[in-house]
Amino acid sequence: MDTTQLLKGVLDLAVLAVLREEDGYGYDILRRLRSAGLDEIGDASVYGTLRRLFAAGYLTTYVVPSEEGPHRKYYSLNPSGRSQLKTGGETWRGFAATMDALLESR
Amino acid sequence: MNLDIAHYAAAVGAALADLPDDIRAELLEDLPAHLAEVAAEVEAEGGTLEARLGTPAAYAAELRATLGASVPAGGGARLSTLVVQAKGRLRTTDRQIGRIIGYAGLSEFGRLLRPGWWVVRGYLAAWILCEVVSGGSGPEGALPRIGDSVVGGLIVALAMIVASVWLGRTAATRVKRWQRVGSGVVSAGLVLFGIGLLVNVDDQATREYGGGYYGEYPGQWVDASWQGGGNLVVVDAKGQVLSQVSVINLDSESYVDAKIHNCDAILTWEYERWPVLARLCRHQGLYPGDSPTGGPTAAPTVAPTTTPSVTPTTAPTR
């Protein structure tokens, strides 16, 4: 099964998850997701998801000036984002357990 | 590299042109900054932007997918459904017309024409600029002129065309609503002005080359051989026949010796004799027979009466 299809549904959760420990800027978040094993994830997916989570009020942003290269916009989880990550995580675990059980029994 | 980023962002924006303005603006607002970030990383790792990100169209498609079901429905859900339906119908029509002219869609064809519009826009802007700089001495022709200098005007035109093309190429990176509305208003103004300019130039051209036109109106119908006398009709600027007028010859300081006709008391035979007079009067809605006076064949008003009113009566004889 094509993982990009699966990814669509959980991209929000994945992005929220990699921001739990540490704030990050767009490309940095992409790298974290890829090194976590989501190799097929594209830059536009991450950028679009960040924009959407920001618009939904789960993220706050701040700009860090850079001496060499462009300024970087960092994204950070706010309390609303943390609670979204918590409920989203619970939903996922429940769903994953159901799927596991379903696949196991066959 | 910065130019690459601008072009890449513009191309992504163009591929998302069908999205509602606010959603599109929100998606694209940060894109150039984000791409700059990516570009810096990619360069450090020794790659190129496009090799890393794929084509702008593919990037736009991926970006569109992240909108998912979260395209805001809100209070205007029903309205937005209607908008989506209308847009779908428009897209179908777009494709149908496109098939006729051999393109994927009419909008596709329009996109191809866009650079042409940028050139025209620059030219029109140059024309207006030259007019303002030269003190607005009125339209003289289709070429922009600074004072009397066509060369100066053309240099301005060239500069404005270059500027206009640059503006057009980078337009998709300016996504703020006021910028889009502003450029729309300016474009509409330029289009109207362009049509006006075209009409003006055409008008001048047809006046110049249309000398042989035989019309009903003064100025287009001049007979230099007229020496006075004969039959005349006097018309105003709109070709309306004037009545109760006289013509005075200033050289001889006398009324010209001519019969001046009008439509008020025109006779049938006059119509037949002077077709031009007939045409002018018909143009005013006056026909022979409508006129109050009769023709020359009108019967004399006095007719001999022959019937005696009194007949002699003979008295009966016994």
Q: Kindly give the confidence (pLDDT) of every residue in chain A, 106 residues in length, as a single tens digit, with 9 standing for 90 and above.
A: 677 777 877 889 999 999 998 999 988 899 999 999 888 888 999 999 999 899 889 999 998 887 777 788 899 999 999 999 999 999 999 999 999 999 987 5
Residues of B in contact with A40 (CB under 8 A): none
Asked if pLDDT for residue B151 goes beyond 80, the answer is yes
DSSP B158-211: HHHHHHHHHHHHTGGG---HHHHHHHHHHHHHHHHHHHHHHHHHHHHHHHHH-T
Asked if pLDDT for residue B216 goes beyond 70, the answer is no
pLDDT at B203: 76
B66 contacts A48? CB cut-off 8 A: yes
Which long-range CB contacts under 8 A does B212-220 form with residues at least 24 apart?
A: B216/B279, B216/B280, B216/B283
ipTM (interface pTM): 0.82
Nearest CA in chain A to B69: A9
Asked if pLDDT for residue B295 goes beyond 80, the answer is no
Domain boundaries, chain A: 3-100
Residues of B in contact with A51 (CB under 8 A): 26-27, 29-30, 66
Distance from CA of A106 to the nearest CA of B (A): 32
Q: Token pair of B265, please?
A: 């008391």
Asked if pLDDT for residue B214 goes beyond 80, the answer is no
Residues of B in contact with A42 (CB under 8 A): 53-54, 59, 62
Tens of pLDDT, residue by residue over B169-199, are 887 676 677 877 888 888 888 889 888 888 8
B37 contacts A27? CB cut-off 8 A: yes
pLDDT at B137: 59
Between the ranges B123-127, B254-258, B289-293, where is the mean pLDDT highest? B123-127
Distance from CA of B93 to the nearest CA of A (A): 30
Q: Are B27 and B19 in contact (CB under 8 A)?
A: yes
A73 contacts B60? CB cut-off 8 A: no
Whether residue A14 lies within 8 A of chain B, CB to CB, comes out as: no
pLDDT at B308: 47
In B102-166, the DSSP E strands lie at none
Nearest CA in chain B to A9: B68
Q: A3-100 has which fold?
A: Arc Repressor Mutant, subunit A (1.10.10)
**Mean pLDDT, chain B, integer:** 75
Residues of A in contact with B39 (CB under 8 A): 70
Tens of pLDDT, residue by residue over B32-68, are 888 888 888 888 877 777 888 888 888 998 888 888 6
